[in-house]
Amino acid sequence: MPHDDLQDFIRTLEKKKELKRIPFEVDPYLEITEFADRGAKQGGPALLFENPKGSQIPLLINAFASDRRMAIALGVERMDDIAVRITELKELKKPEGIMGAMKMLPKLGELSNIFPKTVSDGACKEVILREGQFSLDSFPILHCWPDDGGRYITLPLVFSRSRRTGKPNCGMYRMQVFDDKTCGMHWQTHKQGADHYRQLNAEGKDMRMPISVAIGADPAVTFSAIAPLPPDIDEMMFAGFLRNEPVRMVKSETNDLLVPADAEIVLEGYVELGELRREGPFGDHTGFYSLDDDYPVFHITCVTHRKKPVYAATIVGPPPMEDFWMGKAVERIFHIDEAAIARSGGYL
């Protein structure tokens, strides 16, 4: 069964005794990392920090940090079940005769449920804050490791659109917080977001590229952002395939990009051509800090969120950590070696 949203997933994890609530105050500066790191390495449950220091918003971490939680997230018994469904679709051939066509109907009916559904409103718009009304400091954004360049949004779903084809993309790129309304946009050169930026640069017309970032969504949507899909496959369509149910999408307040209507938090804004800022270092999955470098700046112009949102986060570092199990799921579903994922720079 698909999860309605992140909070539905949290309730499911708690029902299955896969979640621990932390009621006392814990600091997003290094302390939450210590809890999450030890928990992941010791096979502990997902952690919901109900009282992160300096914020009124609970923080969820390690939600994907086991084989069982990955299966719960994607609504299957085993990751191989998804791989089988993908293989069956790849092997579909033109039917021979009426009986062949009838046998294909169940598979074709399944495909009818994968396309995103645009709706007029959603829970992500229960609170709408425009310029001058919001600050990133209200969120429990993690400073993960001692020598990190700053605080990082670590589980963002970054939505952009190709200028050439008009097709949307959802990627996961870490975002270093520079101040209360700007972040770094760490899209490496081979990522689709970076390609969209290059397309805009090649046109030499508009100086601003619209971006919307969702934080906290149905786990199938979050997983789809890291899935190694071909550039012409919409991540939200793949999420619909995983869910057997369409992802509800709603138009952003300040641009034309669609975002998951049931997301917890949405940051809307833009990157400006030619504007770069130093981002990093960042404690990486290799056990070392990735070096600082120049990346585009994401200017936030509007924040929308639920009345009582949950902030979703992750950390990376020496395995096993949460991204280790996410990588295992990718390997089982797509038959891609985890080493290849690491060589490509990982997810963040």
The structure tokens listed for 39 are: 């928990």
How far apart (Å, rounded) are the C-alpha atoms in residues 143 and 18? Answer: 25
284 is a catalytic site residue: yes
Contact assessment for residue 54 and residue 74, using Cβ atoms and an 8 Å cutoff: no
Q: What would the pLDDT profile of 201-235 be if each residue is shown by its tens digit?
A: 777 766 899 999 999 999 999 999 999 888 888 99
Residue 28 in tokens: 């997003």
184 and 279 in contact (C-beta within 8 Å)? yes
3-state secondary structure of 295: strand
Residues linked to residue 52 through DSSP beta bridges, in sequence order:
26
In whole angstroms, give the CA distance from residue 95 to residue 114: 22
Q: Is 179 exposed, middle or buried (0-12, 13-18, 19+ CB in 10 A)?
A: exposed
pLDDT in tens, 84-138: 877 766 554 444 445 444 444 455 455 667 899 999 999 999 999 999 999 999 9
pTM: 0.90
β partners of residue 290: 282
Q: Give the domains, in start order, of the chain with CATH numbers.
A: 6-77+113-343 (2.30.110.10)
336 touches 233 (CB < 8 A): no
Token pair, residue 252, equals 């952003």
Strands 289-290 and 175-179: unpaired
CB 212 within 8 A of CB 185: no
Question: Torsions phi, psi of 62, nearest 5?
Answer: 65, 25
Residue type, 127: V
The catalytic position among 37, 284, 323, 337 is 284
Instruction: Report the C-alpha gap between 111 and 115 in whole angstroms.
Output: 8
Q: Outline where the chain has alpha helix (H).
A: 6-15, 31-41, 67-74, 79-90, 97-111, 192-203, 219-224, 235-243, 322-334, 338-343
- Residue 242's H or E segment, with its range, is helix 235-243
Nearest to 219 by CA among 57, 9, 45: 9
> Which run of H or of E encompasses 73?
helix 67-74
- φ/ψ of residue 194, rounded to 5: -65, -35
Q: Are 302 and 129 within 8 A, CB to CB? A: yes
Q: Over its length of 348 residues, how does the chain's per-residue pLDDT go in tens digits?
A: 678 999 999 999 999 999 999 999 999 999 999 999 999 999 999 999 999 999 999 999 999 999 999 999 999 988 888 888 777 665 544 444 454 444 444 554 556 678 999 999 999 999 999 999 999 999 999 999 999 999 999 999 999 998 888 899 999 999 999 999 999 999 987 788 778 888 877 777 668 999 999 999 999 999 999 998 888 889 999 999 999 899 999 999 999 999 999 999 999 999 998 899 999 999 998 889 999 999 999 999 999 999 999 999 999 999 899 999 999 999 988 876 555 555 555 556
As a whole number of angstroms, the distance between CA 243 and CA 258 comes to: 19
Crossing angle of helices 322-334 and 67-74, rounded to 10° = 60
**What are 293's strand-pairing partners?**
279
